[in-house]
Amino acid sequence: MTRVGDLLGRGMAFPPHVGADGRIAWSEGETNIREGILLSTLTEPGERPRLPEFGGGLRGLLFQPNTTPTHHEVGVQIRAAIADWEPRVRVLGVDVQADPENPESAVATATYELVSTGDVRALTLTIALGG
């Protein structure tokens, strides 16, 4: 019998934390993939000393205006980070819009397909911008 973790992967939970048993917590399946996407998009290149090119580089857009060209760049960077660092998914699209509740943020929704099952999922992130 194939377990979800065997099919979709298993790894240390993100953000890292200690589980109820006092050990490092692990995640598997779709949860682990979602965490991998968050990790690859929200990490800045250079933050991981042994893999300095890892990450999405979104913090570099922090002081950019909350405009359509910036939204396009956010989408490009999210798409690239997922494509480069999360091989268990195929990015179908990234939609970025101004956050209606915060003029200094954009809301990005990445739609992706799980390579192993073909299931389609989405992940929404709020990205800080300069306003």
- Report the helix count and the strand count for the chain, using DSSP H and E: 3, 5
DSSP assignment of 26-85 equals EEEHHHHHHHHHHHHHHSPTTSSTTSTT-S--GGGGTTS-SSHHHHHHHHHHHHHHHHHH
**Digitized pLDDT (tens) for each residue of the chain, 131 residues in all:** 444 445 577 787 777 788 889 998 888 889 999 999 999 999 999 999 999 999 999 999 999 999 999 999 999 999 999 999 999 999 999 999 999 999 999 999 999 999 999 999 999 999 999 85
Look up the pTM and report it.
0.85
Pick the CATH number of 4-128 from 3.40.50.720, 3.10.450.40, 3.30.200.20, 3.90.1150.10: 3.10.450.40
Domain ranges of the chain: 4-128
